[in-house]
């Protein structure tokens, strides 16, 4: 996923970052000069708050300048561009501050980063409801120049005006004040929801017999001083256990703990979020939060989403049923019974068994060919070749942890700096627990030239130990390519406005460019560049690769149905659901899991408590599958013209990545494809 901040003002989406030019707070590592680097290593308690106060004061100065300008002399350059400048100034601390709230090693810095985010989001709510600023934009919109705007300039004005409608400027002032209260409440609740997930720590302690099937190194790394084995909830601990452990009981226990993370706090928080979303849309005159959220996205309305999800559910059903039958055959033989169900804590295990029994594909054998540094080297080669760029490692960078690396991106054929990126790839206590690209600095044209973007890639791959290096599963490799796709989308931007820079595109398209880039981990030509045995250096054998590709669509139906379930659950909570009605969010998850997926609900679990997307992706999770249709369609061009064809890669960079949100995504996709998009490649990719 990409990690961005939703700025309600004008209804646009940003990932965070930029740089003010004042030197008033020169000792603050977050207040930097134009195109300088943040001094992350020297951030201390108080710096994020000081920086937050500073950029808000700078933003206020810009706002006042806009407001006091004579209405008869308003232009695009002196009224609309300064609004984008406000975002730029605010983002300059919001970005690194929010990142520190997710990754810093010190709790007090993390807390300050999250408090800063809360303060800034509340400020942005105030800004979006500022009547004088609205009047300034409205006055400009009536000018002859405004009426003759075209292209990006017209889009920016239209989006700002739509944003004012969506924030309630058609309402009386008293109603707008109520909107403000609800928006601030939602900001605080969302931050609380995310923080509770990050803070949820739990461990399952097991006997030696419960680890049958696990690799020796896995067991060595988790041997506790008590003589038991400590299995925590981090992905490198949880996922291998669910895939490989022979103990059905231990897997069931671990799944139970995993799907009850943050349950003591977040059930109530989620209900409050849903109540306040309902209050918001009631004030604004929408039928549901889903209607509100889809209005400015590719989907346009809830009906299109429901049609999409229900159509997909129907098309995937047969493939998913076949997937389950394959697993049931193995389960029946293993347990010497006529098995009727695959449970959620068995899905990973029996999927792995199908790979072993049907394709003789051993996930542990596959891992030997995906050592982290080799994968990174190959990924770099592929992205550099496709997009005509070169990466250079930065020596002795100022970073927040010793594991973090920093790189510069240059045009391949010149010394022109494009931007920078950070890699924070291994787990540690209290770090953001999933995989995401966090914006650090966003692209924007300024009086000083183009502001060079920067992005931080935060992942949780297995850390090298004294027993073995970091070996990635093939799923990990796919995640790496996906998230790096978000990274290049952010860093290769050429948008003149921060409002449309990088991944600042409609939420139901934002995953498409990175999903498209996952495909390179399934192609021989690209895999041969980096898939080599960590001990011998031998390139992955053809026979093993053939088995991996043949096994690609094992459980493609069940996995896709699981995504449809997540999308329908999220959308259901935001399209007419009443948290104070007859059904709880747990009742809903049980009902939909049993209806949509083929894995029965695990009694006593509350997965919604740790389903972070219900906050940031509220009424938008459908976008993962929605965008995947476009992703596979775009990849079909590379499949035809060559997956390492630099000409096609440069075309993709120019049309999709550099444009960001400056044009409608459907228009960009059509331009890249040279035709209308369709779902043929998407369905083929799953073996349907």
Residues 643 and 501 in one domain: yes
101 in a structural domain: yes
Structure tokens at 548: 């991996």
pLDDT at residue 18, rounded to an integer:
33
In angstroms, the CA 452 to CA 441 distance is: 7
611 in a structural domain: no
Structure tokens at 306: 């429901």
497 in a structural domain: yes
Residues 87 and 221 in one domain: no
As for how many domains the chain has, the answer is 3
Residues 502 and 649 in one domain: yes
Q: What is the DSSP string of 628-652?
A: HHHHHHHHHHHHHH-TT-HHHHHHH
Structure tokens at 404: 């973090």
Residues 254 and 393 in one domain: no
| Token pair 């891992």: residue | 367
10-residue mean pLDDT series, the chain (688 residues): 44 34 71 96 97 97 98 98 98 97 96 95 91 96 97 97 91 90 93 91 94 94 95 92 97 98 97 98 96 93 96 93 97 96 96 91 92 98 98 98 98 94 95 93 97 98 92 96 97 98 93 95 95 96 92 92 97 97 97 97 97 92 93 97 98 98 96 94 87
Contact 489, 601 (CB under 8 A): no
Residues 424 and 513 in one domain: yes
In angstroms, the CA 617 to CA 607 distance is: 16
271 in a structural domain: no
In angstroms, the CA 594 to CA 32 distance is: 53
Residues 437 and 388 in one domain: yes
Residue 453 DSSP label: P
Query: Half-sphere exposure (CA, 13 Å, Cβ side) for 444?
Result: 30
Residues 216 and 80 in one domain: no
The three state secondary structure string of 56-103 is: HHHHHHHHHHHHHCCHHHCCHHHHHHHHHHHHHHHHHHHHHHHHHHHH
Task: Enumerate residues 6+ apart whose C-beta is below 8 A from 246.
Answer: 212, 213
Structure tokens at 293: 């959220």
Task: Enumerate residues 6+ apart whose C-beta is below 8 A from 126.
Answer: 180
In 3-state terms, what secondary structure has residue 8? Answer: coil
Helical segments of 129-208, H only: 131-141, 144-147, 151-167, 173-199
In angstroms, the CA 133 to CA 74 distance is: 13
Structure tokens at 4: 């961005």
Which phi and psi angles does 382 have, rounded to 5°? -65, -50
Structure tokens at 202: 């739990």
596 in a structural domain: no
In 3-state terms, what secondary structure has residue 447? Answer: coil
538 in a structural domain: yes
681 CB neighbour count, 10 Å cutoff: 19
pLDDT at residue 433, rounded to an integer:
85
In angstroms, the CA 65 to CA 83 distance is: 10
In angstroms, the CA 33 to CA 25 distance is: 11
Q: What is the DSSP string of 577-619?
A: --TTSS--HHHHHHHHHHHHSSS---TT--GGGG-THHHHTTT
Residues 477 and 534 in one domain: yes
In 3-state terms, what secondary structure has residue 243? Answer: helix
Going by C-alpha positions, the residue among 424, 418, 423, 455 that lies closest to residue 440 is 455
Going by C-alpha positions, the residue among 304, 181, 283, 278 that lies closest to residue 573 is 278
- Dihedral angle over CA of 327, 332, 335, 336, nearest 10: -160
In angstroms, the CA 331 to CA 339 distance is: 6
In angstroms, the CA 571 to CA 564 distance is: 10
In angstroms, the CA 296 to CA 165 distance is: 11
- Name the β-bridge partners of 14: 5
Residues 134 and 216 in one domain: no
Query: Half-sphere exposure (CA, 13 Å, Cβ side) for 282?
Result: 10
Residues 235 and 97 in one domain: no
Q: What is the CATH number of the domain that holds 680?
A: 1.10.1370.40
Contact 116, 98 (CB under 8 A): yes
In angstroms, the CA 152 to CA 495 distance is: 10
276 in a structural domain: no
Tell me the Cα Rg of the chain.
Answer: 25
In 3-state terms, what secondary structure has residue 370? Answer: strand
pTM of the entire predicted model: 0.84
Contact 497, 660 (CB under 8 A): no
Contact 416, 410 (CB under 8 A): yes
In angstroms, the CA 559 to CA 294 distance is: 25
Residues 140 and 251 in one domain: no
Cα 237 to its chain centre, rounded Å, is 21
In angstroms, the CA 168 to CA 431 distance is: 37
Structure tokens at 219: 């067991």
pLDDT at residue 351, rounded to an integer:
94
687 dihedral zone (left: phi>0; alpha: psi -120 to 50; beta): left
Contact 484, 376 (CB under 8 A): no
209 in a structural domain: yes
Residues labelled catalytic: 483
Residues 116 and 220 in one domain: no
Pairing of strands 454-458, 436-441: antiparallel
Cα 278 to its chain centre, rounded Å, is 25
pLDDT at residue 8, rounded to an integer:
35
Query: Half-sphere exposure (CA, 13 Å, Cβ side) for 556?
Result: 18
What residues make up the domain containing 654? 372-550+624-685
Where does a domain end: 234, 258, 282?
A: 258
């Amino acid at each position: 996923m990409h990690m961005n901040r939703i700025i309600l003002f004008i209804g646009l989406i940003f990932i965070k970052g930029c740089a003010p030019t004042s030197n008033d707070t020169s000792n603050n590592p977050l207040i930097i000069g134009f195109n300088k680097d943040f001094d992350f290593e020297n951030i201390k308690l108080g710096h994020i708050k000081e920086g937050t106060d500073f950029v808000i004061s700078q933003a206020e100065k810009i706002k006042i300048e806009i407001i006091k300008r004579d209405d008869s002399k308003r232009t695009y350059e002196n009224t609309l561009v300064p609004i984008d400048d406000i975002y730029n100034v605010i983002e300059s601390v919001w970005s690194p501050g929010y990142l520190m709230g997710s990754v810093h090693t010190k709790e007090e810095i993390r807390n300050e980063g999250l408090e800063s985010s809360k303060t800034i989001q509340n400020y942005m709510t105030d800004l979006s409801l500022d009547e004088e600023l609205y009047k300034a934009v409205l006055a400009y919109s009536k000018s002859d120049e405004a009426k003759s705007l075209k292209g990006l300039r017209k889009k920016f004005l239209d989006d700002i005006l739509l944003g004012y409608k969506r924030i309630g400027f058609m309402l009386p002032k008293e109603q707008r004040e109520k909107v403000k209260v609800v928006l601030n409440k939602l900001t605080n609740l969302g931050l609380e929801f995310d923080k509770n997930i990050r803070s949820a720590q739990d461990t399952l302690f097991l006997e030696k017999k419960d680890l049958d099937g696990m690799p020796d190194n896995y067991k060595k790394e988790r041997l506790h001083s008590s003589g038991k084995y400590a299995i925590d909830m981090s992905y490198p601990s949880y996922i291998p256990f669910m895939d490989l452990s022979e103990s059905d009981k231990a897997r069931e226990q671990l799944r139970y703990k995993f799907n009850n993370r943050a349950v003591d706090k977040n059930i109530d928080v989620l209900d409050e979020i849903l109540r306040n979303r309902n209050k918001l849309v009631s004030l604004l005159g929408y039928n549901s939060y889903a209607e509100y959220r889809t209005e400015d996205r590719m989907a346009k309305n809830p009906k299109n989403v429901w049609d999409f999800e229900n159509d997909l559910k129907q098309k995937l059903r047969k493939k998913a049923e076949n997937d389950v039958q394959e697993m049931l055959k193995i389960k029946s033989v293993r347990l010497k019974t006529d098995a009727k169900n695959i449970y959620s804590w068995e899905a990973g295990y029996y999927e792995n068994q199908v790979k072993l029994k049907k394709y003789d594909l051993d996930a542990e054998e596959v891992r030997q060919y995906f050592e982290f540094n080799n994968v990174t080297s190959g990924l770099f080669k592929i992205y550099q070749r496709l997009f005509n760029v070169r990466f250079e490692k930065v020596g002795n960078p100022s970073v927040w942890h010793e594991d973090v690396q920093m790189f510069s991106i240059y045009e391949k054929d010149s010394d022109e700096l494009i931007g920078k990126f950070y890699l924070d790839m291994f787990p540690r206590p209290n770090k953001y627990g999933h995989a995401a690209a966090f914006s650090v600095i966003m692209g924007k044209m300024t009086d000083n030239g183009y502001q060079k973007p920067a992005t931080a890639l935060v992942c949780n791959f297995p850390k090298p130990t004294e027993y073995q290096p970091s070996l990635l599963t093939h799923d990990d490799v796919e995640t790496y390519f996906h998230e790096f796709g978000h990274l290049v989308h952010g860093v290769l931007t050429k948008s003149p406005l921060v409002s449309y820079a990088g991944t600042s595109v409609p939420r139901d398209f934002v995953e498409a460019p990175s999903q498209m880039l996952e495909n390179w981990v399934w192609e021989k030509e690209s895999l041969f560049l980096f898939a080599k045995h960590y001990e011998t250096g031998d390139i992955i054998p053809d026979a093993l690769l053939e088995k991996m590709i043949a096994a690609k669509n094992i459980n493609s139906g069940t996995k896709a149905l699981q995504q449809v379930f997540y999308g329908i659950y999220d959308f259901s909570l935001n399209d007419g659901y009443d948290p104070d009605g007859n059904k709880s969010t747990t009742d809903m998850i049980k009902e939909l899991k049993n209806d949509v997926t083929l894995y029965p609900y695990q009694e006593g679990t509350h997965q919604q408590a740790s389903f972070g997307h219900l906050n940031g992706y509220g009424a938008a999770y459908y976008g993962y599958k929605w965008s995947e249709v476009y992703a596979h369609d775009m990849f079909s061009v590379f499949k035809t013209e060559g997956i390492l064809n630099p000409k096609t890669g440069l075309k993709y960079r120019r049309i999709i990545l550099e444009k960001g949100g400056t044009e409608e995504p459907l228009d960009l996709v059509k331009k890249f494809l040279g035709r209308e998009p369709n779902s043929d490649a998407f369905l083929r990719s799953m073996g349907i």
